[in-house]
Structure 1
Amino acid sequence: MSNYYNFRNLDIIFVDDNKNMHALIKNLLLAMNIVNSRGCFDAESCFEEMREEPPDLIITDLSLNPENGLELIRRIRQGEHGVDRYTPILVLSGQTNIKDVLAARDAGATEFLAKPVSVGSLHDRMVWMVENPRPFIKASTYIGPDRRRAMRGYEGMERRK
């Protein structure tokens, strides 16, 4: 594992339509000493929870019924129902082909983690999110974290020579 952070006081909402994943995620979070977590089975209950008490992090699957995780991410980034559009969103999914990862990124996900997940991989991804924050972009067709991974300064004409 990488650097240790005390995530105990984080408030996390996780969204998955599978009750077994709820138990697994809850146990993973408890193993990380995170005691403030709430599970939702669909997008609407996630919005209700977010309005009631804004979370520090949202963990969502891509395969949700009736609405998929991509639509949930887009709606959060739009600030629908007055929720905080800047809330970090970690996608936790078994859909790991490049098309799905890019779709999650383009919807506004902060990070992506493939299932199956372990305490170590979840902790490491959360540490990555803390240590490598990305600026938030608000453009006409996109709202979310900067999709570029390499954070270089503008190199201009010299780069093209």
Structure 2
Amino acid sequence: MDNAVRRAVIVEDSPQMRELIRMVLGSLGFQKIVQASNGAEALDALQAEHTDLIIMDWMMEVMDGLECTRRIRGGVNGIDPAVPIVLLTGNKGKESEASAYNAGVSVYLEKPFSIKQLHSGVMKALGLNGVGVS
């Protein structure tokens, strides 16, 4: 990736999963990583400043990942509706995947996923397939 400061928002209700994702994003050159435990917190964080990537869990209390994605794609509160969103979920199957893409996610990853799969999903969401890690 380039030398620009990259900002990501991790939206995940599990602190352990947030830390794992944070480490992967750090290895990919993201310097500013904000964490939220639900969709409502994510919308607040996204209004604060430009974000290059969102890693979003689907199943969360307060506001789930699909509702948060729909609001982002709707351009709520000045948030960039085109920001790439990688959705992480324990939901399995083509129906769940279709629901996620219909809501506007960029990349759909089923849990459990490997670090390599997360890395690939982030690169795909950013349009950087085949580009090496910085």
Q: Into which bin does the TM-score normalised by the smaller protein fall?
A: 0.7 to 0.9
1:45 pairs with one of 41, 46, 56: 41
Shift of residue 117, structure 1, vs aligned partner: 2.8
Q: Distance in 2 between matches of 1:7 and 1:59?
A: 21
Q: Which has the higher contact order (CA 8 A, sep 6+)?
A: 2
Following superposition of structure 1 onto structure 2, how do residues 72-111 of structure 1 map, counting pairs within 5 Å?
72-111=68-107
Residues 33-58 of structure 1 show CA distances to partners (whole Å, capped at 9, x for unaligned) of 43321110112211111111121011
TM-score w.r.t. structure 2 length? 0.84
Shift of residue 99, structure 1, vs aligned partner: 1.5
Q: 1:75 to 1:7 in 2, by over 3 A?
A: farther
Q: Distance in 1 between matches of 2:99 and 2:91?
A: 11
Q: Higher Cα Rg: structure 1 or 2?
A: 1
After TM superposition, the structure 1 stretch with the greater mean CA deviation from structure 2, 58-67 or 92-101, is 92-101
Q: Does 1:122 align with 2:115?
A: no
3-state SS in 2 of match to 1:38: strand
- Matched residue pairs, number? 128
Over aligned residue pairs, what C-alpha RMSD do you find? 2.0
Residues 127-161 of structure 1 show CA distances to partners (whole Å, capped at 9, x for unaligned) of 223147xxxxxxxxxxxxxxxxxxxxxxxxxxxxx
